Amino acid sequence: QVQLVESGGGFAQLGGSLRLSCVASGNIFSANTMGWYRQAPGKQRELVATMSTGGLTNYADSVKGRFTISRDGAKNTAYLQMNTLKPEDTAVYYCKYSGQFLGRDLNNYWGQGTQVTVAS
């Protein structure tokens, strides 16, 4: 089992910045993917950014050039630096972890979610 604890959400002004953190603990696979999905009221949950232990990243088109995902392997922690925030970024952000084995994703886990609110 994997536990995810995320933090760093809050309130930001238009054009401001926030940094989200997600700490994974428990039965961590040596190969895995971590990242964030977000869900706004009345909308489907959507991918924001992910990064594998192999260094591969995936970003939603809406955040490319503004958000940067990074990882600290020693701490089993992922970070999402969010710059130039827009009101459209307002959502609950959920950290996600997926173990990998022979190229297959295993055992998806979700964090508790953290609210990000951006004012215009």
Q: Per-residue pLDDT tens for 71-86?
A: 998 889 999 999 999 9
Bridge-partner residues for 79, per DSSP? 21, 70
Residue-wise pLDDT for 61-117, tens only, equals: 999 999 999 999 888 999 999 999 999 999 999 999 999 888 788 889 999 999 999
The answer for 73, left when phi > 0, alpha when psi is -120 to 50, beta otherwise, is: alpha
Bridge-partner residues for 78, per DSSP? 22, 71
Q: Cα–Cα distances in Å, from 45 out to 27, 36, 40, 91, 112?
A: 26, 10, 7, 9, 14
What does the pLDDT read at residue 56?
95
Whole-number percent of the chain with pLDDT over 90: 88
What does the pLDDT read at residue 4?
97
- Burial class from Cβ neighbours inside 10 Å (0-12, 13-18, 19+) for residue 43 reads exposed
Output phi, psi for 73, to 5 deg: -60, -35
pLDDT at position 13 over 90: yes
